[in-house]
Amino acid sequence: MKAFLIDRYGKQTGRIGEVPAPAVGAHDVLIEVQASSVNVLDSKIRKGEFKLILPYSFPLVLGNDLAGVVVEVGSQVKRFKPGDEVYARPPEARIGTFAELIAVHENAIALKPGNVNMAQAASLPLVALTAWQVLVETARLKKDQKVLIHAGSGGVGSIAIQLAKHLGAYVAATTSTANVEWVTALGADLVIDYTKQDFASVLHGYDVVLNSLGADVLETSLKVLKPGGQLISISGPPTAAFAQEQGLSWPLQQVMRLLSLGIRRKARKQDVSYAFVFMRANGIQLQQITALVEAGIIKPVIDRAFSFASTAEALKYVEQGRAKGKVVIRIK
C-alpha cells in the first residue's frame, strides 16, 4: 500500500512509498483511510523531538488523525463491522494515518459523526480529544468559570473555544490581528490581539489557562490566574507525573521533573497548579465528541485541503503556523 513516511529523523520532509499492509490483531479494526489531517505533532515527530519517549522504528509512516471505512475487524471486535464509517486518533505507539490502510485498536475508534464529511471528520480527533482532556478531564471546567485559550485560531484553540462555551465558561482567547473577528465568531467572549495587547495586563482572575505556546507565554500566563487556578500546557515542559503515566524509566522521570521544575516552583509561589497534558487516544471520549458534533455544538474548522500526493506541502504549510483551524489530506 502507499504511505507517506520518513526514513530518519531530521529536516527531510518525507516521501510517499510502498509499505506492507498492516496486520490485524484480535482487537484491531482495519480501516481504509479516506482522509487525514496534519498536526504540529507530526512535525515534531518527524524532527525527532519525541524520540526519547516515543521510540519509533523506521521507515515510519506519519499521521495522527483519520476518517475512513472499516474493511476488516479482528476476531474479538464486537462494536464495529465492515462498512462502518469511523474516525480516530490511533494510539501513539501505532500512528500512521498518512496511508491507504491502517489497523487501529477498537478502543481508539468511534463512529464518524453523521453530519460531516470524511475530511471534516478527519480534522477532529486529535484536537478535539486534546481540548476535552484539558478542559473536561484535567481542568474540570465549570459553568461561569473563566478560561484563557492561547492560539485561539489554531487547531486545538478553535475547538477548545467551542467546547469551553458549551461548558458554560467565559472564554478569552489570544490571536493575531487578522484573526480577531474570526475567533470572535467561534464564540470567544474576549479576544486579545497579541500584536497590540499584552494579555497579562488585560486579563485577571482566571480559573484556567490552556497554553500551546512557548516558555515565555507559559510563564506570563501565571499572572492572569487567581489563587487555586490551573495552568495547563500541551506544549511542555513535561512533568514527572507524565513520565510515570508513560511508563518511562526512572532516569527519564527525573529529567522530566527537572524540565518542569522552574514553572512548577513559580506556580506554587502564586498558589496555582501546573499540569502537562499529552493527548491520548480514547474512543469513549470521541463518542461523546461525536454527539456534540452531531448536535451542532462543535463544528470542524478547516483551513485548506491537500491531495495525498501533496502531503509534504501540507506539512510545510502547517509548520508556517498560519493555518486557521486544521489542514486536511484527502487520502482517497
Instruction: Please report the DSSP string for 201-215 in residue order.
Output: HH--SEEEEEE-S-H
State the DSSP code for 282: -
Q: What is the mean pLDDT of each run of 10 residues along the chain (332 residues)?
A: 96 91 97 97 92 90 98 97 98 96 98 98 98 98 98 96 98 96 97 96 97 95 98 94 88 91 96 96 98 98 97 95 94 92
Asked if residue 292 belongs to a domain, the reply is no
Instruction: State the CB neighbour count (10 A cutoff) for residue 307.
Output: 11
CA atoms within 13 A on the CB side of 301: 22
* Number of domains making up the chain: 2
- Please indicate, yes or no, whether residues 152 and 272 belong to a single structural domain of this protein: yes
Asked if residue 254 belongs to a domain, the reply is yes
Cα(231)–Cα(209) distance, integer angstroms: 5
Pairing of strands 101-105, 28-38: antiparallel
Structural domain of residue 175, as residue ranges?
126-276
Residue at 64: amino acid letter: N
Cell numbers 476535552: residue: 132
Residues 115-134 as b/e (b if ≥16 CB within 10 A, e otherwise) read ebebbbbbbbbbbbbbbbbb
- Please indicate, yes or no, whether residues 232 and 166 belong to a single structural domain of this protein: yes
- Please indicate, yes or no, whether residues 316 and 256 belong to a single structural domain of this protein: no
Asked if residue 295 belongs to a domain, the reply is no
Cα(45)–Cα(306) distance, integer angstroms: 20
Cα(90)–Cα(96) distance, integer angstroms: 8
| Cα dihedral 164→136→66→174 (10° resolution) | 40
Give me the CATH number covering residue 116: 3.90.180.10
Whole-model pTM: value is 0.96
Per-residue pLDDT reduced to its tens digit, 77-133? 999 999 999 999 999 999 999 999 999 999 999 999 999 999 999 999 999 999 999
Q: Break the chain down into helix, strand, coil percent, rounded to 5.
A: 35, 25, 40
Asked if residue 282 belongs to a domain, the reply is no
- Please indicate, yes or no, whether residues 307 and 268 belong to a single structural domain of this protein: no
- Please indicate, yes or no, whether residues 142 and 268 belong to a single structural domain of this protein: yes
- Please indicate, yes or no, whether residues 186 and 141 belong to a single structural domain of this protein: yes
Cα(53)–Cα(320) distance, integer angstroms: 25
